[in-house]
Amino acid sequence: MSVGLITRENLLKNKASNATFLALKTDDKTALEGMVTLEPILKSTITGNISVAILGMGGDSHTASFFPGAATLETAIDLNNAAACQSVTPLTAPHERMTLTRTRILASNLLVIHITSDDKLEVLENAKKSADFNVTPISSILSQTQSDVQLYWAP
């Protein structure tokens, strides 16, 4: 089942059914090729702020496919990067990912970070004290003042 279908069936209900949902998965062979496809679509579709962006966090402090040590992490989180999306290849996973750039994510009225488990809560608390975005990418979201961030933790 596709992410788009799962999202529509579970989240885009009632008043939310009018929301625009854009999957970052394309038919391109690589995420790098997908950037070429997605960039004009994203720039023409998302013309203002995103209302709400919901981000998770992995045990390694990655969020939004901002993976620690990834070769394109610096580009993805660079606030001078005007691109809407970025391909990322994690050091710890065998396949590429697609993400919105930090610039685009921070153009959200509300950022929700949803995490589960005591372990991830500890990672998050440590990341709040870190300024090394290459080691703790979630810090690049937590340390900014541009967008309102709400944290939700489910043990």
Domains and CATH numbers, the chain: 27-154 (3.40.50.1360)
| pLDDT in the model for residue 92 | 86
Report the distance separating Cα 15 and Cα 35, nearest Å.
31
Instruction: Please state the separation of Cα 112 from the chain's center in Å.
Output: 11
- Tens-binned pLDDT, residue by residue, of the chain (155 aa): 666 677 778 888 898 888 877 888 899 999 999 999 999 999 998 888 998 899 999 999 999 999 999 999 999 999 999 999 999 999 988 789 999 999 999 999 999 999 999 999 999 999 999 999 999 999 999 999 999 999 999 98
| pLDDT in the model for residue 3 | 65
Q: What is the pTM of this model?
A: 0.89
